[in-house]
Every structure is written in structure tokens, then in C-alpha cells.
Amino acid sequence: MTVRPLALAVSFSLATVLAACSPTSQPAAGDSAAQAPQADKAAQLNQLYADYWEGVLKLNPLQATFQGDNRYNDQLPDFGSAEFRKQSHDFTQEWLGKAEKIGDAGLAGQDLLSYRIFVEEQKQSLEGEKFPTWMMPVNQMGSTVSYAVMLGSGQVAQPFKTVKDYDNWLARAARIPVLLETENANMREGMKAGVVQPRVLMEKVVPQFDEIITAKAEDSQFWGPIKLLPADFSQADKDRLTEAFRSAINDKLMPAIKQQRDFIANEYLPATRDTVGLDSLPDGKAWYAFNAKQSTTTAQTPEQIHEIGLKEVERIHGEIQKVMAEVGFKGSLQDFFKFMQNDKQFEFKSEPELLEHYRGLEAKINANVPKLFSLTPKAGFEIRPIEAFRAKSAAGGEYMQPSEDGSRPGIFYVNTYDLPTRKTWDAEDLFLHEAIPGHHFQLALQQELKGVPAFRRFGGETAFIEGWGLYAESLGKDLGVYTDPYSYFGRLQGELWRAVRLVVDTGLHSKSWTRQQVLDYMFANSSVSEPDAIAEAERYIAWPGQALAYKTGELKIQELRKRAQDKLGAKFDIREFHAEVLKDGSVPLDVLDEKLNAWIAEKSK
């Protein structure tokens, strides 16, 4: 799973491209009269995309910060306000109109691809505005408060290297109470409209806030930058900043966070709903269908996705039964799942041992990368444990992409909460997905693309991104891991888990499944610990449709690989295939299909 900047009114996800690049729209080779207008139009559009992205960064300074652009690090708009939402709408409408005025006639290749992605992204952003996500701004997976802690701790994107950096954060932090006040008002609007979060999610939020709230600034996670004040700061600056941070934390941040915490506990929680599916909200079925379309970049209905999930679960169960036969396990599939969860041989003895194990995988896998990849990123990455305050509700692993300027590497966050549930057999497939050659390869390479508009380098299709991450898990044997059947079971369990997601996410949000039905299905059909099952089920409740992307994207990449192998035979080169998949960054799945077909046709000559 990738970690994204705070979800905002401006959409940075790439949207479905409705039409693939059609040969009929391309000028004939050598037709200079056709090529000249195309070049002029492409130049106009590339300038438009550059101007658009500058506007995005001004409108959303958090996007700039996470990207490594420090120009707006002191700014924080009131994203939930009606004024900002109107500003965002007008911004999207304006740039869509400008692009459509130029049009796509005569464009080809990357120019046509960029145009159609851009236009559909803006259209989908406008379409999504009819669903009131702004009424539910807080859940256990993320909130302004949790992002404020990540930024203000000095451990993620907000830099704390110069005196100006420290002053930038103080200015940004002063805005946080404004955002929280707006969110409280928006949640009250949601209470009136019947658009509220499930109670089971918000019950997890209050303890998260309690871990953040402290009586003294010095005990706060926001105090981290003061503990690490650079030695070359003057004593006057050190004294001033120390006092300014103490005042900001004690007088602004903590009172505002406590106020939102008390509002949630005392006013909002009693108004939350017992249901968990998006389909129980006003216009919820249409809302979920939109989320599914956006997440998968396909026209598949929730019912179709549910059926695909059931078939994949059955198929992968068959593969796991082969592992059971290999290790001589006597008993049912469910007995084997319990054995894999409960046997002490699969536990890490300590957090340092777990982290060292993951770091050891890096060298082993890197040694084999040249067998499968000719295209690799320049950016480095590192491994960190997930912060304690959010670990209980976090996934087993997360990845945050590097900054553009190279000042921050890609980060693979490993969850060490409830250590006995973090299994040795799960480590290799998780590393392959989140780090190498999964998210780190794909997202870092995307940022390093040359001659591609910024909205493509820093945007992303979840189906492509997570589909690639899951596909990367299948490469383990060629990368020197999965050398024992139990670790290979970890790979199958990882794939099974994503198939289960297709079933339970659609069950939750289109078939009125309860949280308990989801948990029962997980326990019956996969090897999952209770803490992981609960965290995952509640993640799907919080992010309707997001979990559909993984298996949908992976199935497409596997389909394209088989197609290429069947048609190219001895001409098939796995390194060239991977380069072709990755070289244009994240694209909708129908566009991926089109460009791989073109590659296969060219290689067949």
C-alpha cells in the first residue's frame, strides 16, 4: 500500500482513459503538413500541463511539500471549507476547458496519451464532487491530525534543516486549528444529512487522538524538531524557536486537537451509524460504483468484480493445497491456515530482529534484479517501523515515494505492532510488494521520467500502482526468495488476500455485508491474524473501493505477460517486458493493454 498526501478536493489520481490511442488519428509518416500542426498543438498542451501543475502546487501546498518542492511549506489552505471546494471546482473546470479548446485532433503517441489522461482526470474529479466526501473528513486511516503529526514530527516530508524551515512549520501549524474547526462544522452538516462514518471506525479514532494529546509540549511528537535542532543554529535562534514551538504546541495545537477529540467522542460518536457499507448512505450505490470505476479504471460492475474474486479465491486455494502436500500437512485448508498463524516457528523474537530480516532481504533481492530488470530507479530507499500512534490501524507495510530533489528516499514502513502476528513467511512477499521491485521501482521510476508532464509523474492510477506491487510478489523465485514452501505460501497468501478483497469490499459496499460477515469470510478463506483481519476489514470500510485495485491490476499485467510470451515465443525477454510496462509511469489499464499490444506487434516483426 502506498502512502499518499492528504486527500484533497483537487484530484491527483489519473482517471480512466475512455479511448485508446487510435492509429486513424495519427498523421501519415512523412506528412509534414500534418506533423507541423501536431507539433504546435503538442507544444501548447505541454505548456498548459506545466502551467496547470504550477497551479496545482499553489492550490495544494501539501502536494508541493510531499513532492519535495519547498516554496509553499508555510501554507495550509482550509481544504474542507466551501470556499476552497468552490475554488477547486473552478480550477478544474478552467483547465479542462483550456485543454478541450486545444483538442486532440492530430495528436499521437505520448501526446495523445497525456491529453486523454488529463481530460478524463479533470472530468472524473468533477464527477466525484456530487458525493459529499467532505462531510466525513476523519477516520482511523487518516485525518488532518494524523497528517499534522507526520509532518510536524520532522520524520516525513516537512523539512527541518534551516531556521526558515522551522519558521515555515510554525506558520503552517498555526493554520491547523482552522482546518479542524471547519472539519467539525462539516461533520455536523453530515449529521444533519445522514452522511456519517460507521461507529466502529470512529471508536478507533478517539484512542489515536489520546495518544497524540499531551499535557506538556516537551512530551509531544511535535517536539521532535526541537530535540534535533541543528548545531549550527545560533543560540538566539535556538532559544526563540524552542519557545515558539512550546507556545504553538501548548496554546494552539493541543487545544484544537483536544477540541476535535472531544467533539468526536461526545457529539459525533452518538450520531454515527451501525451500518458499515457505503450503499447505506444517500446515493450510496452510485457513490460506490463511482469509486469502483475510479479505483479499477475499468467498467466492471461491483457484481462482476465480486464474481471474479470468488473464482480467484477458489483457484488460489488449489495452489495452497499443493504446498500442503509438499510439506506433508495432514488436515483441512482451514487447519493449515491456523497452523501458519499459530506455530511459534514463524514468529520474530524482537522488533530489531524483524527489521534486520527485512534489511537482509534487500541485498539478496538486489543481487538478482539484473535477471529481470534493465530499467531501475536512481532513488534510494530505507526501512522504518510505522509510528506507534497509528500502527494499530495501519497495514502490515506501507511505502512513501521519494522526494523529487532526492533529499528524502523512498520509505518502506514496516508494522511491528503486536509482533507475534508479523510472520516470517509474510516478509518476502511484503518486501517485494512495497520495496523492490514493487512500489519503490514503479513510483521512483515514474518520478524520474523525462519529457512527461508533471501531472503524470506525480499522479497515479491505483489499479496500475497496486497491480504492479502485487505482480512484483510473483517474481520472488527468480529474485532469490521463496526458497522454502512456507515462504512460497506467503506469496500465495498475499495473492489470496487480494482476491478476498474483491469479495469482501464489494460485499460490504454493494451487498450489505456486516463487519462480522467480512471477518468470518476472511478467517474461513485465508490465513490471517485477528489484528490484521480487523485492521483490514476496517480499512475497506473507511476506503470503499480502494481494495479492488490490487487484483484487478495484477490480473491485467499477468494477462499481458502471457499474451506476450505466447505471441513472441523465443523473442520474449522478461527484462524488456518489465521495461515496457514501467517506462511510461502509471496508466489506466486499457491504455496499458493498448501499448503492450503495440509493443508485441513491433517485436513480432
Q: Mean pLDDT, the chain, as a whole number? A: 91
pLDDT digits 0-9 by tens, 414-441:
998 888 889 999 999 999 999 999 999 9
What is the sign of the dihedral through the CA atoms of 278, 392, 385 and 262?
positive
Residue pair 23/128 in contact (Cβ under 8 Å)? The answer is no
Place of cell 530482529: 353
Q: What are phi and psi of 61, to 5 degrees?
A: -65, -20
Interior/surface letters 451-487, b for 16+ CB within 10 angstroms, e for the rest: ebbbbbbbbbbbbbbbbbbbbbbbbbeebbbbeebbb
Q: Give residue for cell 505492532.
A: 417
User: What pLDDT sits at residue 28?
Assistant: 30
pLDDT band at residue 1, thresholds of 50, 70 and 90? low
Does residue 326 carry a pLDDT above 80?
A: yes
Quote the pLDDT of residue 345.
Answer: 96
Domain boundaries along the sequence of the chain: 23-130, 144-282, 297-551
Q: How many degrees, rounded to 5, is the angle at CA 417 between CA 509 and CA 413?
A: 80
141 CB-contact burial (10 Å; exposed 0-12 / middle 13-18 / buried 19+):
buried
What backbone phi and psi angles, to 5 degrees, belong to 38? -60, -45
pLDDT, tens only, 525-573: 998 888 889 989 999 999 999 999 999 999 999 999 999 999 999 999 9
**Contacting residues for 548 by C-beta, under 8 A, at least 6 apart:** 292, 295, 296, 305, 501, 502, 505, 506
